[in-house]
Structure 1
Amino acid sequence: MRLGIDVGRATTAAVLTGPAGRIAGRALADSAPTRAVSLRRVLAGLGRLPAPIGAVAVVCDLGRRPVAWRRVAVLRIAPGAHPALGPFVGWPDAARAAVAGPHLVVTGGSSLTGRPLATLDRRAVAGFARRAREAGITAFAVCAAGAPGAPGPELEAAQVIAENAPDAVLSLSYEIGSPGLRERENATVLNAALGGWADSLVRDTRHALRSAGIDAPVLFARDSGGLVSADYFRRHPVIATAPATPCAARGAAARTGARQAVVRDAGAGPVRCVTLVDGEPVRHERPHPGPLGVRVQLGAPEITEAPAGTEALGAVTDRLAERVPGAPVLTTGGGSGTPADGDTPEEAFDAARYAAGADCRAEIEHIVAAAGTAELDQLLAAARDHALSLVIAAGADPATTKLHTFAHAPVAYLPAGVHRVTARATGEPVTRAQR
């Protein structure tokens, strides 16, 4: 059996599923100011469990409670640039005040074609690591030009930092974000800053589950769909800061059978709206404001907010409906609380039900450069293997992993032989019996 829990803004929902996704139990509780209490309430509402739980999937947005952001030391490995393009430039003032630590730009990295640009200045990196450590900073973000296709400079810098700041917690950009340098750097910095939030969410969840007598692998929903293991989430929290509305939208699609729709997620606060195309929320195609309003490019769904019961909500709905003419408008979410008569609408369980049956997912976007067909084939095979290894690291049972999508195309503005590669791998979560 698998358990899905949606720690929502207004309510916390839990759905227990058995073979073939059959619902074996569910509960709904008013959300408390703290996650731990919300989790304990809904687990108590499930009552006695009919069978051991194989895996638990949790949906929880970053905005559920105040976040203790970590200050981050940022190392950029790239050709020199104007100070107006440096780390933290263009960030909202509040974001910079919460997160910004010391930063250093050293020459190096690789071009998009994989050509090394300069040898890493290890002495400069070592001095930077020591200064950050003396300032009491342990979170580091490392971002090198060309890293998604050539991560060597980041790995070398990480080794130097670890030698000079043994307590360092490192986020490397080649594991996070898109090929674009600035958005990838922003995402990596936010990832490092979110480490404390991820640790506390995992700790609260595991403690609540143990209190309820549940010993099972814990997974978390990611913004772009699917699940990742608790350990993967702790290393890459920036990919899972706003999964609630996308999960609820996918759950609404499964409940109604609608493949195209405009979905309104109603809860405490503004209504969140998304467009579904072929059962999936439409994603941002360009950089967009992420956590703290910082611009990132992580493939997250487009979410538009509007106050409930206003003309603005109708205008948002009409605009989104232009993408899917004739499609229905679906409502999902927990509303403003648990109905007094106990007649809870099905839409309150959409996100939890989706999470209970979701698979693990991992996605990559790389730039590769090949001199000929044989080399390109080797690089594409390596990209496939990388995607499959990532989804296993994200908690998938190796026996069930597969490539869900794989595509590559020449990059028009670069020399011949340079291709953009994208892949998504999926797999069923490892369960309690398989640990």
Structure 2
Amino acid sequence: MHIGIDVGGTNTDAVLMDGETVLGSVKRATTEDVTGGIVDALRALGETSPFRPADIAAVMIGTTHFTNAVVEGRDLAPTAAIRLGLPAASGLPPLTDWPDRLRTAVGDHVYLCHGGHEFDGREISKLDRDELARIADDLGRLGVRTAAISSIFSPVNDEMEREAAEALTELLPGLRVSLSHEIGRIGLLERENATIINASLLEVAGRITRGFTKALKGAGLDAPLYLSQNDGTLVDADFVQRYPVVTFAAGPTNSMRGAALLSGQADCVVIDIGGTTTDVGVIAGGFPRPATTEVDVGGVRTNFRMPDVVSIGIGGGSLVDVGDEVEVGPRSVGFRLTSRARVFGGDTLTATDLAVAAGMTELGDPARVARLDRDLVRRGLDRIATRIAATADMMRTSPEPLPAVLVGGGSVLLPDRLPGFDKVIRPGHFAVANAIGAAIAQVGGEIDRIVTLEGRSRAEALEEARAGAAEKAVLAGADPGTVRVLEVDELPIAYLPGNSIRVRVKAVGDLKLGD
């Protein structure tokens, strides 16, 4: 057996599963420290579906900790943004396009140094170790313990980033370093931004993963801990401590994977309505469709891997504003829903109150909303359905019909038919699809490299990349007998010598439980 947990802005869900069979589930309010909500959910799960801690082979957690830290600009470590590329790339220094609040949060420590490569691998300039020594002196004086190193075209040649990191850590033992070629893709500013975000989260990543481990031990669980990343696969706590950005958007990804399992649909539009937001994404071949454009995180443009998800501010805790038009969201009572909504004795009119008044769900005390104006209730619910259906329809890339799968506790806000969709599915256990998605997540391995075809065929190069991705999945904990290649992308690069191509291969396999 294994346990899946998803920590949302309003609720923390936990499920007990045996393979792909749900044995029990609970939903508890998320606490401000988040870890407390996990402890509460595990305790409740043990009461409703008793299990022996020794029978739990693994615990999988999807968390919003790191996304929230960036969006809210809190708990970010002062970080040195070091770019290798002089005399080129000095026109737009690091952090140029960052919001002031985030720039202040990471300390505005910007350094431009010599180094970097051209698009064809030629050096722009030699790495200057005297420059790095001056930076190390400055960081030591300021007490900055984290650095993000970005070199021009490091996805083509990562040599200088590694050399700079080695030089700085020799001078400043204990310095935490993130390297851009390990985080983002081609595109200097976006890759650099993603690396700075990752570096600024390294301290909080260690604290959070330790907190999760402590919460599990407090519940008597000695099972290995895995966290969900944003491509629908799992990584261990050590990996998250080095690369916390991989967990961004893990919540919507978990919901989509859970929706695919519960509905039996390998291709569908998933509408996940929580307490604060509605996330809409597309499942293609059983996995979330990845975004192909830049991704905005807290107002910062990045280019690391993310699912193609659109979020709108409508959820069960959304405030209902009554005027000439009825508007729902984007403001929300969040995890305070059970104390502020009218059906729970509060004085705030929420979307949940509308659903209860319309008889779409039974929560709290329906008598408290029995006298709500019928026209107000109808107009509010129609507004919710129209906005969500329009957003879901925008996610389709072809006129071919796709079913809409409704999940999340807030999906009770929607009717059984939606404009633009012939088929609407609300599967069993829909309210905890996110935790189910975390519990069934697989282990992945990815190869993203530029290879030359001199002396070998294209087929040989692709097969080598496939084998490398599969090997990475096995090393990450996948059962070798279940590993399969999920995606193969290749892009000819005409400007590089040697008939070069960029190859990206992703392989996934089931977690080898108990190993």
Q: TM-score by structure 2 length?
A: 0.75
1:305 corresponds to 2:311: yes
User: Structure 1's 322 and 117: CA in aligned 2 closer, same or farther, altered over 3 A?
Assistant: closer
Structure 2 counterpart of 1:340? none
User: Structure 1's 188 and 391: CA in aligned 2 closer, same or farther, altered over 3 A?
Assistant: farther
Q: Which moved more, 1:295-304 or 1:395-404?
A: 395-404
Q: Count how many residue pairs are aligned between Structure 1 and Structure 2.
A: 424
Q: Does the aligned pair in 1 maintain the 2:232–2:288 contact within 8 Å?
A: no
Structure 2 counterpart of 1:37? 36
Q: Does the aligned pair in 2 maintain the 1:179–1:365 contact within 8 Å?
A: no
User: Structure 1's 324 and 198: CA in aligned 2 closer, same or farther, altered over 3 A?
Assistant: farther
Q: Which moved more, 1:155-164 or 1:253-262?
A: 253-262
Structure 1 counterpart of 2:283? 276
Distance 2:168 2:160 in 1: 12
Q: Which moved more, 1:195-204 or 1:2-11?
A: 195-204
Instruction: State which of 314, 321, 328 in structure 1 corresponds to 2:403.
Output: 328
Distance 2:458 2:129 in 1: 32
Q: Does the aligned pair in 2 maintain the 1:113–1:368 contact within 8 Å?
A: no
Structure 1 counterpart of 2:234? 227
Structure 2 counterpart of 1:208? 215
Other structure's SS at 1:410 match: strand
Q: TM-score by structure 1 length?
A: 0.88
Aligned-pair identity (%): 31
Distance 2:128 2:91 in 1: 23
User: Structure 1's 80 and 100: CA in aligned 2 closer, same or farther, altered over 3 A?
Assistant: farther
Structure 2 counterpart of 1:255? 262
Distance 2:475 2:165 in 1: 20
Q: Which amino acid aligns with 2:431?
A: A
Structure 2 counterpart of 1:6? 6
Structure 1 counterpart of 2:327? none
Structure 2 counterpart of 1:289? 296
Structure 2 counterpart of 1:409? 491
Distance 1:270 1:402 in 2: 34
Other structure's SS at 2:280 match: strand
Long gaps (5+) in structure 1 = 338-343
User: Structure 1's 378 and 307: CA in aligned 2 closer, same or farther, altered over 3 A?
Assistant: closer
Query: What value does the CA root-mean-square deviation take over the aligned residues?
Result: 2.7
Structure 1 counterpart of 2:189? 182
Other structure's SS at 1:78 match: strand
For residue 25 of structure 1, report the CA deviation from its aligned partner: 2.9
| Per-residue Cα deviation, 1:135-162 (whole angstroms, up to 9, x for no partner) | 1111111112232242221111111101
Distance 1:355 1:106 in 2: 42
Q: Does the aligned pair in 2 maintain the 1:4–1:56 contact within 8 Å?
A: yes
Structure 2 counterpart of 1:70? 77
Q: Does the aligned pair in 2 maintain the 1:11–1:334 contact within 8 Å?
A: no
User: Structure 1's 276 and 359: CA in aligned 2 closer, same or farther, altered over 3 A?
Assistant: closer
The higher relative CO (CA closer than 8 Å, separation ≥ 6) is in 1
Distance 1:277 1:324 in 2: 15
Distance 1:401 1:273 in 2: 28
Aligned 1:44-193 pairs, distance under 5 A: 44-47=43-46, 48-50=50-52, 52-61=55-64, 62-63=66-67, 67-81=74-88, 83-193=90-200
For residue 203 of structure 1, report the CA deviation from its aligned partner: 1.7
Q: Which amino acid aligns with 1:418?
A: S
Distance 1:237 1:21 in 2: 27
Q: Which amino acid aligns with 2:469?
A: A
| Per-residue Cα deviation, 1:102-150 (whole angstroms, up to 9, x for no partner) | 2222222333333333321111112112211211111111112232242
User: Structure 1's 349 and 182: CA in aligned 2 closer, same or farther, altered over 3 A?
Assistant: same
Distance 1:123 1:375 in 2: 44
| Per-residue Cα deviation, 1:327-380 (whole angstroms, up to 9, x for no partner) | 22221123399xxxxxx961122121122121112333222345x133978876
Q: Does the aligned pair in 2 maintain the 1:3–1:55 contact within 8 Å?
A: yes
Q: Does the aligned pair in 1 maintain the 2:278–2:311 contact within 8 Å?
A: yes
For residue 248 of structure 1, report the CA deviation from its aligned partner: 0.2
Q: Which moved more, 1:303-312 or 1:90-99?
A: 303-312
Distance 1:142 1:417 in 2: 29
Q: Which amino acid aligns with 1:8?
A: G
Distance 1:303 1:419 in 2: 29
For residue 79 of structure 1, report the CA deviation from its aligned partner: 4.4
Distance 2:268 2:274 in 1: 19
Q: Does the aligned pair in 2 maintain the 1:10–1:335 contact within 8 Å?
A: no
User: Structure 1's 323 and 199: CA in aligned 2 closer, same or farther, altered over 3 A?
Assistant: farther
For residue 31 of structure 1, report the CA deviation from its aligned partner: 2.0
Other structure's SS at 1:103 match: strand
Q: Which amino acid aligns with 1:29?
A: R
| Per-residue Cα deviation, 1:156-204 (whole angstroms, up to 9, x for no partner) | 1111101111120011112111122222111111100111332232122
Long gaps (5+) in structure 2 = 315-380, 413-426
For residue 415 of structure 1, report the CA deviation from its aligned partner: 4.5
Which structure is larger by alpha-carbon Rg, 1 or 2? Answer: 2
